[in-house]
Amino acid sequence: MLTLHHNATKERNPRAIVATFKVPNGDPNFTEDNIPGDWFRVHPISCRDVQFLQLLEHRVDKFAPASGGGVLVHPRVLTIKRN
């Protein structure tokens, strides 16, 4: 069972590590910037949490925060659909 939602903290426009790409060689530079919208800072507790986070697309569904611990994830990845 995933436990990410147990310790999720909502953040509005958090600062994260983002990549900017140079056109000539395509190598990224990494800087701090705000990512727009609502995000959740989660701290994985179990092996399943870590495996789930590894499956998410980096710099789309998850970001590394600019300061502090945890992982910033988009709210859509924590949504549970029930029938």
pLDDT tens digits, 21-50: 776 777 888 999 999 999 999 999 999 999
The residues spanned by each domain of the chain are 4-78
| 12 half-sphere exposure, CB direction, 13 A CA radius | 0
34-53 per-residue burial string, b: 16 or more CB within 10 A, e: under 16: ebeeebbbbebeeeebeebb
Give the strand pairing for 9-12 and 38-42.
Answer: antiparallel
pLDDT tens digits, 43-81: 999 999 999 999 999 999 999 999 999 999 999 998 754
